[in-house]
Amino acid sequence: MREGSKVKLLFVDDDEMILRLLKRVSTPLEAETAFVDGAASALQLLEAGDFDIVVSDFSMPGISGLSLLTTVAERWPRTLRVLLTGHPREAFDDGSVDSVVDLILAKPWHNADLYARLVGLVERARQR
């Protein structure tokens, strides 16, 4: 991580209500945050700047969250990648996400639990 700079998080979800909830939960973090409504917008931001963490919804029109995070893993391998999904964890037990995703977070979530997970990710990014 860049010395003396804040951790940068990028949240990606096509549902405006989910983005608002993510914004509310992440506001107390000591981090810079950006919110976009799809993978194409996320890729534009990633091209333009350095993000330490990308949190993406799984099911989105166009480019799926898993495809987005696969691209992030290939092009920005030091970026932590988090998948938000309403699918049960067992849906991914075939190992398809293990090399792409650092963490899977289930929807719906409890705000306190999500916040604690985000704090842990920010700390992990700072140590990189």
Q: What CATH number corresponds to the domain at position 60?
A: 3.40.50.2300
Enter the pTM of the model: 0.91
pLDDT along the chain (128 residues), means of 10: 79 96 95 96 94 95 93 96 78 68 89 95 92
- In this predicted structure, what is the pLDDT of residue 4? 64
CA-CA distance, 25 to 37, in Å (whole number)?
17
DSSP symbol at 84: E
CA-CA distance, 70 to 53, in Å (whole number)?
13
Cis (ω within 30 of 0) for the bond into 108?
Answer: yes
- In this predicted structure, what is the pLDDT of residue 40? 96
Is residue 2 a part of any domain in this protein? no
Q: What is the bridge-based pairing of β-strands 103-106 and 80-85?
A: parallel
CA-CA distance, 62 to 38, in Å (whole number)?
8
- In this predicted structure, what is the pLDDT of residue 20? 96
- In this predicted structure, what is the pLDDT of residue 75? 96
Per the structure, the count of domains in the chain is 1
**Which regions of the chain does DSSP assign to beta strands (E)?**
7-12, 31-36, 53-57, 80-85, 103-106
Secondary-structure breakdown of the chain: helix, strand, coil percentages, each rounded to the nearest 5: 40, 20, 40
Is residue 1 a part of any domain in this protein? no
Domain extent for 70? 7-126
- In this predicted structure, what is the pLDDT of residue 76? 96
